[in-house]
Amino acid sequence: MLFRNTLAQSTTTITSMIFSVILAPIMLSRLGLAAFGVWAVTGAFATYATVFDLGITRALGRYVALYDASGEERKLRECVGLGLLAVTIVGAVVLAAAYLVAPLFADSLGVLDTADMRIVLLCSAGILTSMLFKKVLNSVPHGLRRMVPPNVTSTAGNVVNFVFSVGILLVSSSLVDYALVNFLAAFLGIFGALASTLYVSRPLPVAWPSRETTREVLGFSIKVQVPWIADMVNQQTDKLVIAFLIDVKVAAAFEIAGRVTNAVKAVGVLTTSAMVPTATAYIVERGRQAVPAFHLRYSRMSVALAFPLFVVVCVSAPALLFAWLGEIPDTTEAVLIVLSVSHFFGLAAGVAVTLAMGAGRANMLALTAALSAALNVVLTVAFAPLFGTWGVLAATFVSIAFGAIAFLRNFHREFGIRGREFLAAIAPPTALAVGVGVPFGLYALAFMELDSRLQAAVMLAAVTLLYGAIYWVLASRLGYLPARLTLSRGRRAAPPRDEALVGTPEPTR
């Protein structure tokens, strides 16, 4: 079931990322670099505003799984009620803030007048509010480990959003029109989420939250919120600092590179995307003693699947950007490579993060995430005036690496895992991914000269396919990949076995 749920999550995430990548050059062509930068900045503003939900929308999947596994149906329904109440309040706050700050954004960015900026900000706030409502509704099937229905409707929503976006860009070059259409598509997505939730659990499991349930969920969710804030600081703050202190067009270039790395990161984290509810129920039934073997086994597989994606991005960055955009904005290639390398650290800690969430140890995440965010802010403020974009990138890289390493140290100490055991699990697939990429990187530095988008596309396809084929064969023979993705299973090295982990780690229901 974990494999099926992960596959379902993959469909939604991959379609969203593919559509985002396709839309970027169309938006640049129709709206211009400055308006594209404004859209990125307003999106970052709206994302910041979700801090007011206190992490409830991120904690619901875990508590739905927990109360379902323990048979506490009333508390499960109260969780959903608490989530709906929280996002309603957040939506009202975000929309009010968007209305009020429009003059400041219009004056600072100098691209839209106040009236148009207010519409764009309100649409960004409406899109975010719609997404939060969908997250609350989808927490029910996610927590029940029935992720196919919500991801079917979410994928359909991605298609609707893409069609609406392309359609409006074909007939209008106005950012205001684009924002309005995107809000409409996001609002319609709420009804899809409602339909999938009712398909899994009818009637809708909603009840007014009691004080006890509210305190229990908030005690965990506030701790969950801190890592999310740190991640937001590490990603969104960069765009805001660059837009207001350097240039909105540079922020647009940063957003372009960020779209690529976020797309690859989203694919990479699919290896753990369905794991929190499963890990929660798994730990409830089997106890903490199952955590070390789970962590080591799945960390190796997660790294083996995710790291090659970023290596390909790094070694093919010029071809990728040229084929995608036709003209590469200044610093975009360097930003893409630095962000890709920084994500290595976060993905290496991905399985540990999901297990800490499943075990209810969000305080471990909160502490290291808070330190990471504070470090990013301090370094960004110190380096940006001196080194510009490079200073922002350095701050982001150092803070992400520090946060991941500090968290892993605390996690290993908590669950009795030796650091060298973890390194022994992830070092071989990491070395293989990087080693296979070295010849391609050297070739790109020495010989890659691009004259047309077609040539760049052919080069990108050749590098991706050749790298992927070589890595897949070697990783299969060395036993780094899941059985379902392994070539020549009979010849591959046998992975470490643990009786608690044989087969899919899904609790008996």
Per-residue pLDDT of the chain (509 residues), as tens digits, is 544 555 555 667 777 777 877 888 888 888 888 888 888 888 877 766 666 777 777 778 778 888 887 788 888 889 889 989 988 998 898 899 889 989 988 888 888 889 999 999 999 999 989 989 998 898 888 778 777 788 888 888 889 999 999 999 999 999 999 999 999 999 999 999 999 889 888 888 888 988 888 888 888 777 767 666 666 666 666 666 666 666 666 667 677 777 677 666 665 555 554 555 566 666 766 777 778 888 888 888 888 988 898 899 888 888 888 887 777 777 777 888 888 888 888 888 888 887 887 777 767 777 777 788 788 878 887 887 788 778 888 888 888 888 889 889 989 988 889 888 999 999 999 999 999 999 998 888 777 777 788 888 898 899 999 999 999 999 999 988 877 778 764 444 444 433 333 333 333 33
| Location of structure tokens 């990783």 | 475
Handedness of CA 12, 13, 15, 20 (dihedral sign): positive
**Alpha carbon distance, N-terminus to C-terminus of the chain:** 12
Instruction: Say how far apart CA 82 and CA 214 lie, in whole Å.
Output: 7
Nearest to 338 by CA among 254, 448, 237, 437: 254
Q: What's the distance, CA 341 to chain centroid?
A: 16
For residue 194, the model assigns a pLDDT of: 92
Task: Give φ, ψ of 232 to 5 degrees.
Answer: -65, -45
Nearest to 78 by CA among 200, 214, 220: 214
> Three-class SS of residue 172?
coil
What is the signed CA dihedral for 426, 427, 429, 432, rounded to 10 degrees?
A: 170
For residue 243, the model assigns a pLDDT of: 67
b/e string for 468-500 if b means 16 or more Cβ within 10 A?
Answer: eebbbebbbebbbbeeeebeeeeebeebeeeeb
What amino acid is encoded at 216 in this protein? E
Instruction: Say how far apart CA 256 and CA 252 lie, in whole Å.
Output: 6
Distances (CA, A) of 119 to 4, 91, 176: 41, 16, 7
Distances (CA, A) of 244 to 46, 47, 105, 248: 16, 17, 9, 7
Instruction: Say how far apart CA 68 and CA 355 lie, in whole Å.
Output: 18
Instruction: Say how far apart CA 360 and CA 343 lie, in whole Å.
Output: 25
For residue 423, the model assigns a pLDDT of: 92
> Three-class SS of residue 70?
coil
For residue 363, the model assigns a pLDDT of: 72
For residue 474, the model assigns a pLDDT of: 94
Instruction: Say how far apart CA 121 and CA 105 lie, in whole Å.
Output: 9
Nearest to 453 by CA among 442, 445, 461: 461
pTM: 0.59
Handedness of CA 418, 419, 420, 425 (dihedral sign): positive
